[in-house]
Amino acid sequence: MKKVKIDKSWYAMLKGEFKETYWKDLTNFVRGEYVKEKVYPPPKDIFRAFDLCPYDRVKVVIVGQDPYHGPRQANGLSFAVHEGIALPPSLVNIFKEIHDDLGITPNQSGDLSRWAKQGVLLLNSVLTVSAYKPASHKEKGWEKFTDSVIQALNQNREHIVYLLWGKYAQIKGEIIDRDKNLVLTSGHPSPYSASLFFGNHHFTQCNDYLLKYGIKPIDWH
């Protein structure tokens, strides 16, 4: 099997996963989907979250579900979209909360690579999706892989802030050691549950925690 094209620090931590039967089944499924229909994100961006945020640089993890399924939206980062694409409602609400919490106006680009390069792992649970078919690649193996990502951080790193918005992310984060990390939970920023997301001051709490342990805080602009 060809070596997986993912940041070398992540490859070192996850190489055991790439030998598992589920991984072979997953890659066969995903390759087949790319051949027969439109799939997002582009193949080169599947592991973009990891390439922009190497293992040893992770300070914050924001857990999403699966990529956006519309044209040119998904770019490999949870909640993010390509430059120049209209902001999805959830990201609009995230920016609103940043403004209300920190008193700053975020850059209106939805790309979010500016956060990833500072140590924010924008991790979707499922890393691919067929066009216009939300959740079409769920339960094919991606969840097992991304559980292993969280476990790799949980076992060998500490003082990471996990932002778990919505029940789905909270269930995925149950394995996280609360004694050596900060886990912040709230409703999802989707318009359907935003009233449970607004006003929780997660961005202030995140940066205060990082500063407490001598870690440079995130510029959320």
Can you give the CATH number for the domain in which 140 is found?
3.40.470.10
Identify the band that residue 167 occupies on the pLDDT scale cut at 50, 70 and 90: very high
Examine residue 221 and state whether it is found in any structural domain, yes or no: no
For 60-76, the pLDDT digits (tens) are 999 999 999 999 899 99
Question: What are the two backbone dihedrals, phi and then psi, of residue 35, each rounded to the nearest 5 degrees?
Answer: -70, -40
Total structural domains in the chain?
1
217 pLDDT above the threshold of 80: yes
Residue 60: name the closest of 181, 147, 168, 161 by CA.
Answer: 161
Cα distance between residue 206 and residue 106, in whole Å: 16
Examine residue 218 and state whether it is found in any structural domain, yes or no: no
Examine residue 20 and state whether it is found in any structural domain, yes or no: yes
What percent of the chain clears pLDDT 70, i.e. is strictly above it? 99
Examine residue 220 and state whether it is found in any structural domain, yes or no: no
Give the mean pLDDT of the chain.
97
- Write out the catalytic residue numbers: 66
Residue 127, domain extent:
8-213
128 pLDDT above the threshold of 50: yes
Q: What is the mean pLDDT of residues 99-118?
A: 97
Examine residue 34 and state whether it is found in any structural domain, yes or no: yes
Examine residue 3 and state whether it is found in any structural domain, yes or no: no
Give the model's pLDDT for residue 3: 80
Q: How many CA atoms lie within 13 A of 66 on its CB side?
A: 21
Identify the band that residue 1 occupies on the pLDDT scale cut at 50, 70 and 90: very low
Sign of the four-CA dihedral 209, 57, 11, 163: positive
Cα distance between residue 31 and residue 122, in whole Å: 23
